[in-house]
Structure 1
Amino acid sequence: MCAQTGPELFFPEPGSSTREAKFLCGLCEIREACLEYALTHDERFGVWGGLSEQERYELRRRRSSSAA
């Protein structure tokens, strides 16, 4: 689904909305795999698997604190 959409939707300017990108992610069959890819490869920019940079950071932080 994201392959047919321009990258600007998933890599918005700072302060821009990620709502549309997250909506498309919610419809995607491989959303979880995309998110795991972003977490594994430390993707720091854009919307991946339905989560923004800040949301992925928080998820990584929660995962590391629960593993400790």
Structure 2
Amino acid sequence: MADVSRLPVPVVAHWDWQRHAACRDMDLETFFHPEGERDPARSRRVARARAICAGCPVQAACRGWAHRVEEPYGIWGGESEDERRAALRRRRSPRTAA
């Protein structure tokens, strides 16, 4: 009998959390910056996106996915591009002995 444990998970199981996202079917420009966007417009857009994410039932799954794939763009799980880059740097930095 074939060892099926090494097969990839079904796609629907991998992406099903997105069906429950608060941002589903919303304007992408709320979560991804338009060309040439600068503060204070950027700050307002990010605040709107975070407010949507704050009430989302799949916020943790969304943020986890963005971290796993090292998503470089947009607001995912209420976290900005800069916040994800900082988290990635922390994960990759050598740990110093305490």
Q: Which has the higher contact order (CA 8 A, sep 6+)?
A: 1
More helix, by proportion: 1
Task: State whether TM-score is above 0.5.
Answer: yes
* Higher alpha-carbon Rg: 2
Percent identical across equivalent pairs? 36
Matches of 2:24 and 2:69, distance apart in 1: 19
Q: Which residue in the other structure is 2:23 paired with?
A: 2
TM-score (norm 2): 0.61
| Count of residue pairs brought into register by the alignment | 67
Matches of 2:92 and 2:51, distance apart in 1: 27
How far 1:62 sits from its partner (Å)? Answer: 2.5
Matches of 1:63 and 1:5, distance apart in 2: 32
* Runs of 5+ unmatched residues, structure 2: 1-21
TM-score (norm 1): 0.84
